[in-house]
Amino acid sequence: MEQTAAVGVLLGAIFILLGGGLWIALSLIIVGVIGIAFFSNAPVGKLLATTVWGQSSEWAMTALPLFIWMGEILFRTRLSEDMFTGLAPWVRRLPGRLLHVNVIGSGIFAAVSGSSTATAVTIGRMTVPELLRRGYDEKVVLGSLAGAGTLGIMIPPSIIMIVYGVAANVSIARLFIAGILPGLMLVLLFMGCIMLHAWFNPKAIPPADPSTTLAQKLYASRRLFPIVSLVVLVIGSIYAGFATATEAAAVGVLGALILAALTGTLSWKSFQTSLLQATETSCMLAFIIAGAAFTTVAMGFTGIPKSVAALIIEWQLTPGMLIVALTVLYIILGCFLDGVSMIVLTLSVVMPMINAAGIDPIWFGIYIVLVVEIATITPPVGFNLFVLQGLSKRDILFISKGALPSFLALVFACWLLWTFPGIATYLPSVMYGN
């Protein structure tokens, strides 16, 4: 009975605080204080100080600002333009032709950005004007980019994975490795959507450019070498066991600075702007994670997670039923919250359920990232939709209609990941063992 009252009070508090426009981190801390003060005998001040300090000083957190800074540096280079030039000759004969540059370009940039928004903005600035100039359907151009931009949080390094790894206390390096095959699967699914559109609407695809020889294609591909080298350096060092996620992030920042210098886009102004923007974003995320950590501790003292886990066992929910229920919950939350907020607000209660149901936390981390991807293209608060609205000046409904095939592809990916869990667990098990 006490736990039921606690749930009601805390849920009411979080909705009132967030609805009033208070920062998410402060809302989480206040809810934690209410939970401990009214539903336990633990010392609030000591727990708040030790939890926030312990979370903020955790070594794994160092990877977060480094990967964010790496993405900010690359965002200000001309590498995205080079990607279009290097990729275009290889996709001209595929059904859908240059629309595939949206997907493949997003997949490549995702491997060095870690952010869905940064991926959508960077690739969108490069491809949208060029594809519209060539006569491609604007709705399809924006829709395919909305879906492809979500690759920024699936293909490692991923900011969302770092947040989940820290909050759920699981290996970030394992999560990064686990995201590789699902990321490639999504690339193929998004490309499949474009091909289906081209087959059913052949007149909507402009004529192909003049054919090029293999030598010409290879010559154009030289522009892909810098960014592909950085991807291999960052992800390869983790996969080979030479570096932890944090060490790989440091290498990535150094590599990004070198590439920016070589392309002539590194100046004191761009360096300063990238550093300040990365600092602002990192501080915001670190504050939210610290608040979520305190809320998690508070939930433990109120006994709510234990009661929820016992309830799951009592109701005899199968793992499948639990995943379906959580999927619906996260998609609904995704209509109103961003991905980081969804994870930090729910994980303290959700993880005991996942553990009680015997679900692999690494697999669940990839699954929850996939569901967050769906949220980024779900109105009314789909962040990728807002990004593309800013680029195109089109309304959200227009872009949402174009993104519907990508939405369905992501839902299908959820089913594939549940049916074939090895898509997420195979590579970590090969590298690290069970």
Q: What is the pLDDT of residue 60?
A: 62
**Residue at 381 is within a domain:** yes
**10 Å Cβ neighbour count for 282?**
18
The pLDDT value given to residue 153 = 81
CA distance 151 to 427: 18
3-state secondary structure of 319: helix
Which pLDDT score is estimated for 79?
A: 67
pLDDT digits (tens, 9 = 90+) for 304-341: 656 655 666 667 778 888 888 888 878 777 765 667 77
- Which tens digits make up the pLDDT trace of 2-16? 566 766 777 777 778
User: Does some domain include residue 213?
Assistant: no
Number of domains the chain contains = 1
The conformational region for residue 94 under phi > 0 = left, psi -120 to 50 = alpha, else beta, is: beta
- pLDDT recorded at residue 366: 94
14, part of any domain: no
What's the pLDDT at 27? 81
| pLDDT value of position 361 | 92
pLDDT digits (tens, 9 = 90+) for 38-96: 877 778 788 888 887 876 776 666 777 887 787 778 777 776 667 777 777 777 778 87
Contact 35, 299 (CB under 8 A): yes
What is the span of the domain harbouring residue 336?
59-206+221-432
In a domain, 227, yes or no: yes
State the sign of the Cα–Cα–Cα–Cα dihedral 305, 310, 311, 316: positive
- CA 333, 339, 343, 344 torsion-angle sign: negative
Note whether residue 260 is domain-resident.
yes
Check residue 378 and give its pLDDT. Answer: 78
Structure confidence at residue 311 (pLDDT): 63
Residue 216, in any domain of the structure: no
- DSSP-based three-state secondary structure for 211: coil
**pLDDT, average across residues 125-145:** 82
Residue 48 lies in a domain: no
Residue-wise pLDDT for 105-120, tens only, equals 888 877 777 777 777 7
Are 102 and 123 a contacting pair, CB within 8 Å? yes
